[in-house]
Amino acid sequence: MAERNGMVEKRGSGLWLTHLGLIIGVAFIFFPIWLAFVASTVDQQDIVRPPMPLLPGDKFFENYGRALVSGVNAPVATMLWNSLVMALGIALGKIAISLLSAFAIVYFRFPGRKVFFWLIFLTLMLPVEVRIVPTFEVIANFGMLNSYSGLILPLIASATATFLFRQFFMTVPDELAEAARVDGAKPMRFFFDILLPMSRTNIAALFVILFIYGWNQYLWPLLITTDPEMNTIVMGIKQMFPSGDDFAHWPTIMATSILAMVPPVIVVIGMQKLFIRGLVESEK
Amino acid sequence: MATLKLDNVKKSFGKTDVIHGVSVDVEDGEFIVIVGPSGCGKSTLLRMVAGLETVTSGEVRINGKRVNDVEPMDRDIAMVFQNYALYPHMSVFDNMAYGLKIAKVPKPEIAERVQTAAKLLQLEPYLQRKPRELSGGQRQRVAMGRAIVRKPAVFLFDEPLSNLDAKLRVQMRLEIKALQRELGVTSLYVTHDQVEAMTLADRMIVMNAGVADQIGAPLDVYANPETEFVAGFIGSPPTNFIDAALVGGQSGRIGVRPEHIALSDTGLLTATVGYSEALGAETLVHLRTGDGAQITVRQDAALPIPGEGETRGLSWTDENVMRFDASGLRQH
């Protein structure tokens, strides 16, 4: 006990130091975001004239209103909607497909099962950027340019998620599948009634990761959307930047940036509760 | 209610033969225990009856109907698994009701059947709980409840008590027996624990390396083992085996149960006393004979306990001797 008390005392001084370190770290990360927020609430003149203001101005509603309704190329509201559809489509699509393929690989014995698994696994090494030209060709030939399906489908297959679900399914005791079989559950019934509810914490965690992955897609939407109505928010921000002699309205751009951050933050905070609760409850 | 018939059932995994042909007729309402050491094929045999393993050759008949190629759910069986295999995300009620829901039993009837089973198993207060909120014994009961509500023709138990602690195991053993009596359902029960086998079985099947060495009522098997393996496996402490040549026999070995050997000054054989275990009501004396064989003698606690290193004679009467030939078969 004495030793343990000693350790606690020793931690006392260290506690402040670590907290100080952490606070500095947080401030370091947070400061640019704060600056962006400040810049989104002031006049163009305030930004252009040094020094930059450090406290929010009074143009919050004006700037955000303008960004949402008109934007620079396309209204931010439209771009947000496009991004939302794409991110949700990618996240949900990836989860659905990888759940099913993992189910097939773990629970069914079919010829070439191992081969297919390794083929899926192999695609981990081929990110979108590597296959972007042929993928573009395929999507263009299908006439899916400037469409949601064109934005979503090429990004939907996921080796990572398949692998993750495979590993999880392999930890589910075989006896559970056998019990379900004795109870009369056909394979898909077992999948929906037993496996899916048991995977919900994994699904939640993956959803967060994949939503942000989809939300942050930049190169692919840039390639296949030419119509401003189909722009996504992340590429939209880049397109707002002035090129050549254009004049940029920075408060609007900053407001757009802040708006672009909101949905991922909501998803992370909202889902965090679900998957932390899931991690605490161990059930198997 | 139902009969179960296994007719020369065999199982191979690839080229490895696991079960070399088991035949047994189980009567309606009979409690059959399959007992054997790990790897003897007892679980495989049960799983073939359940339909979870294919039958390589031979026939499984439930109520006279050949079920070799019938899906588990259509065999009219219910199974209790070793680790209970409860659905973790479902309440106790839903766990028990799941099979009935799939069978599209009307809701009021499901509720009624689950209630009846829960009452029988004293699970009523826990119906809304999740399996993880239950103790091991309660989970075991839920697993049995899930089997009971289906009103199957045959109950299959796959080592259902091996995950419980010793005290609970004894209690659940009694409950299973009482329950089976009450419901009168034909049951097949797999265990490696010979005490469970002795206490539960109407008849038991002693499995050894994929062969049913002996099938019979527990006390018959205990009194008249057909093979050396059965004599050694059933009974605790196990039967003592002595080289027949040492006591004037010919080839093979003789077996004498620990309770049938008495320590004396002179005997048929002499042995050196090792350690003794005083268990209260009885004492187990472990000895070693001249050729190095271990002998255990079970004697009444009132008898004096010999000191370590003493040489004592071992005596027994001829009627208690079981003679086995070189291949381990009983000679009568």
- List CB contacts (< 8 A) between A284 and chain B: 88
pLDDT digits (tens, 9 = 90+) for B309-331: 888 888 888 888 888 888 788 88
Please name every residue paired with B315 in a beta bridge, in sequence order, or none if there are none.
B262
Q: Where are the domains of chain A?
A: 2-59, 76-283
| A182·B82 Cβ contact <8 A | no
Q: How many CB atoms lie within 10 A of CB B47?
A: 19
Specify the CATH number of the domain A76-283: 1.10.3720.10
Q: Which residues contact B261 (CB under 8 A, 6 or more apart)?
A: B240, B295, B297, B298, B314, B315, B316
pLDDT tens per residue across span B36-70: 888 888 889 899 998 888 888 888 888 888 888 88
Of B77, B89, B132, the CB nearest to A198: B89
Strand pairing of B203-208 and B186-191? unpaired
Q: What are phi and psi of B314, to 5 degrees?
A: -115, 130
Q: Could you tell me the strand order of the sheet in which B269-278 lies?
A: B262-264, B311-315, B269-278, B282-289, B294-300
Categorise residue B151: left if φ over 0, alpha if ψ from -120 to 50, beta otherwise.
Answer: left
| Cβ-Cβ contacts under 8 Å, A107 against chain B | none
Q: What is the pLDDT of residues A28-68, one digit of tens each?
A: 999 989 988 888 888 877 777 777 777 777 778 887 887 78
The 3-state DSSP class for residue A88 equals helix
> Is B270 exposed, middle or buried (CB count within 10 Å of its CB: 0-12, 13-18, 19+)?
middle
Q: How far apart are CA B234 and CA B171, in angstroms?
A: 21
CB–CB contact B73 A282 (8 Å): no
pLDDT at A283: 45
Q: What is the model's pLDDT at position A244?
A: 65
Interface predicted TM-score of the whole assembly (ipTM), two decimals: 0.81
Question: How many Cβ atoms from other residues are within 10 Å of residue B73's Cβ?
Answer: 19
Across the range A11-22, mean pLDDT stands at: 85
Q: Is residue A1 scored above 50 in pLDDT? A: no
Interface residues of chain B, partner chain A, Cβ below 8 Å: 50-52, 71-73, 77-79, 81-83, 85-89, 98-99, 102-103, 130-132, 146
A130 SS3 class: coil
Q: What is the pLDDT of residue B268?
A: 80
CB-CB: which of B79, B82, B102 is closest to A184? B102
Q: Which of B85, B99, B132 sits opposite A175 (nearest CB)?
A: B85
Does pLDDT of A2 surpass 60?
Answer: no
Q: Which of A176, A183, A282 sits opposite B102 (nearest CB)?
A: A183
pLDDT tens digits, one per residue of B98-124 = 989 998 889 999 999 999 888 888 888
pLDDT of residue A277: 64
Give the Cβ contact number of residue A82 at 10 Å. Answer: 22
Is it the case that residue B231 has pLDDT exceeding 70? yes
A20 touches chain B (CB under 8 A): no
For residue B276, what is the enclosing H or E element?
Answer: strand B269-278
What type of residue is A11? R
CB contact under 8 A, A178 and B83: no
Mean pLDDT of the region A201-230: 86
- Any chain B CB within 8 A of the CB of A172? no
Q: Among residues A211, A218, A221, which one has the least CA distance to residue A266?
A: A211
How many Cα neighbours within 13 Å face the side chain of A226?
A: 3
- Interval B182-208: pLDDT, tens: 888 899 999 988 888 888 889 999 998
Check if A282 contacts B (Cβ < 8 Å).
Answer: yes
Rounded to the nearest 5°, which phi and psi values hold at B182?
Answer: -65, -45
Whether residues B87 and A176 touch (CB distance < 8 A) is answered with: yes
Q: What are phi and psi of B148, to 5 degrees?
A: -65, -45
Q: Give CA separation, A140 vs A116, A135, A148, A155, B213, in Å.
A: 28, 8, 13, 15, 72
Taking 80 as the threshold, does the pLDDT of residue A73 lie above it? no
A interface test, pick of B89, B156, B158 with most A CB neighbours within 10 Å: B89
Percentage above 70 pLDDT, chain B: 99
What are the two backbone dihedrals, phi and then psi, of residue A6, each rounded to the nearest 5 degrees? -55, -40
Residue A277 contacts B where some CB pair is shorter than 8 Å: no
Look over chain B and give the mean of its residue pLDDT values, rounded to a whole number. 87
> What does the pLDDT read at residue A8?
52
Average pLDDT value for chain A: 83
Query: Looking at the partner chain, which of A175, A184, A283 has a beta carbon nearest the beta carbon of B83?
Result: A175
Enter the tokens of residue B27.
């009567």
**Cβ–Cβ below 8 Å for B85 and A198:** no
Q: Is the pLDDT of residue A69 over 80?
A: no
